[in-house]
Structure 1
Amino acid sequence: MALPRLHTFFYQQQVFTFEEARRKLKLSASSLYKMLHELLRDGYILRIKKTVYAVVPVEAAGRAHTPNKYLVAAKLQKKSYLSYHTALELHGVAESAYNTVYVSVPWQARSFQFQSTTYFFVTKYDSFGLTKVKVEGIPLMVSDREKTILDGIDRLKYVGGLEEYLKSVSSFPSIDVSRLIRYLKLSNKKALYAKAGWLLSLFSKQWFVKQVLLDDLQKHLSNRTFYLQETNGRVSFRFNSTWNLMVPENVEGLIEETPA
């Protein structure tokens, strides 16, 4: 019987691709399509996307089943990692729970919705700053703490905005500041130097940021003034001369800690 065989391979993994099933089961494409069709019909698996499926527990077969959104996201593209707000969630610091899962990929991919979750692809893929986080015992590729911090302040719209971002990263009791600066130099973006420098100043006591490191970052600043977040006409800004950065007037009120 096909069901026990497929469950043996994919029950713990929970989510699998067509190619994984073909390799594991050693079936021709036509035979596998037939098997999957029967399992779909009987409610033993769900089709999430064209070639991505989720195993339905035997006791839930034929009934509503919601697969783990992180396990789903990890199978959507061969080359990818979970990032931005999703990485904050997986590192256990996200201020809020989101129904959007962010997946970083090296090429454009169309975002889509499955059940109540949106799977959003961000065309940004770096080979550094990655780690594995276990979800239900399964290791998933995720941006590490320091890369998540940098990516987030670089593109705040993918981490829920400035307030959500600051409240989330403030839950990191410590970070590897040297590693963050190494990633910053690999990115080599002038705006990001200003934003990261401002952020490290903000959390200098909590994250044990030495002044000599902040002084070094200042050497990389541009003559151009950047904005910490997008201007939309509803936010008043003030100039931070240390980082040549326009920051919201009320930014210190968004979190309990204030700049040194």
Structure 2
Amino acid sequence: MQSRQHKTASFLSAHPVFTRAEFAAAFGHPASAANVTSLLRHHLRAGNIKRVSREVFAAVPAHMAAERMVIDRFAAASKLRPDGVLGFHSALELHGIAYSEFNEVQLISAGRTERVDLPFGACRFVTPAKALAATGKANYLTATMDRQGVTVRVTAVERTVVDVLHRPELAGGGEEVLKSLDLVRYLDPAKVADYVELLDNRSLASVSGWWLEKRRAALGVSDDVLARLRTRLPRSKHYALGAEPGHAVLVEPWRVLLPAQAVDAAFEGV
């Protein structure tokens, strides 16, 4: 008994957030075993762990009441699905380039698209771009980070920039995206172009090219990168970043219609 208690304490110390399968494996049991259910129930009643979702749990630090514990939302969300990658506004936050903080976490996963409320807040599941799924590159331009001892996967800055320009509604809207991207101090412009080419989305080439040209001096964007994106422009102008008819400014070289504030000097990132 003492040995199992010691093993449990060691596991919980090393796994601030864990799945049922990880817990079962540590004790040499199949994940579906009844004794795993019994053990988890025991530790839930004892206040040693806190349930995050049906299959995910958080370890409660010694001498702390479970109800007072604050679960790291990014660490917890990363465990919800095996293929989960933190993206969009969550990625902006993790890279330190978010203008505002959100309560919602966005997790990219091939599973069902949904928004669920969990003990750490809301989590929105977003399916990866079709081009990534089709080519088996769901983890393209991703990186790992440590969150309180938990390794989480997050979209790299270059992919995050393109993703939030493409779907600003998943990052707080156009204004939040623009203000956040003004905080970008380093990225590889060529990787932005690589990702846009992989997605094969002409409207994305348009808005990404506009943004890179706007930040050209600060980010060291070469003529070659801009030229690559210009070859992929759509044939006709289109709306981006939440722009609406009658309230949009056309940026002719990039064939993109943007909200007025997007092309205002206040958003030039100087």
Calculate the TM-score normalised by the size of structure 2: 0.89
Shift of 1:137: 3.7
Q: Name which of structure 1's ranges 55-64 and 128-137 shifts more when overlaid on structure 2.
A: 55-64
Shift of 1:127: 2.8
How is 1:27-38 mapped onto 2 (pairs within 5 angstroms)?
A: 27=29, 29-38=33-42
**1:166 and 2:166 aligned:** no
Shift of 1:215: 2.6
**1:133 and 2:145 aligned:** yes
Which protein has the bigger helix share? 2
3-state SS, counterpart of residue 102 of structure 2? coil
Partner in structure 2 of residue 114 of structure 1: 118
How is 1:1-260 mapped onto 2 (pairs within 5 angstroms)?
A: 1=1, 3-27=5-29, 29-115=33-119, 117-124=121-128, 126-231=138-243, 236-253=247-264, 255-257=266-268
Instruction: Render the CA deviation track for 1:12-45: whole Å, top value 9, x for unaligned.
Output: 3211111111111113511111111111112111
Give, in whole Å, the separation in 2 of the partners of 1:56 and 1:109.
30
1:241 alignment partner AA: E
Shift of 1:66: 1.8
Identity level (%): 25
Checking the alignment, whether the CA contact within 8 Å between 1:184 and 1:192 is kept in structure 2 is yes
Shift of 1:201: 1.2
Q: Name which of structure 1's ranges 127-136 and 142-151 shifts more when overlaid on structure 2.
A: 127-136
Checking the alignment, whether the CA contact within 8 Å between 1:252 and 1:258 is kept in structure 2 is no
In structure 1, list runs of 5 or more residues that go unmatched: none
Give, in whole Å, the separation in 1 of the partners of 2:218 and 2:71.
37
Instruction: Render the CA deviation track for 1:141-160: whole Å, top value 9, x for unaligned.
Output: 11001000111101001111
Give, in whole Å, the separation in 1 of the partners of 2:264 and 2:38.
59
Shift of 1:222: 1.5
Aligned length: 258
Checking the alignment, whether the CA contact within 8 Å between 2:75 and 2:151 is kept in structure 1 is no
Give, in whole Å, the separation in 2 of the partners of 1:66 and 1:257.
38
Give, in whole Å, the separation in 1 of the partners of 2:231 and 2:65.
61
Checking the alignment, whether the CA contact within 8 Å between 2:182 and 2:269 is kept in structure 1 is no
Shift of 1:11: 2.0
Checking the alignment, whether the CA contact within 8 Å between 2:261 and 2:267 is kept in structure 1 is no
Checking the alignment, whether the CA contact within 8 Å between 2:114 and 2:126 is kept in structure 1 is no
Checking the alignment, whether the CA contact within 8 Å between 1:174 and 1:207 is kept in structure 2 is yes
In structure 2, list runs of 5 or more residues that go unmatched: none
Calculate the TM-score normalised by the size of structure 1: 0.92
Shift of 1:139: 2.4
1:158 alignment partner AA: L
3-state SS, counterpart of residue 29 of structure 2? coil
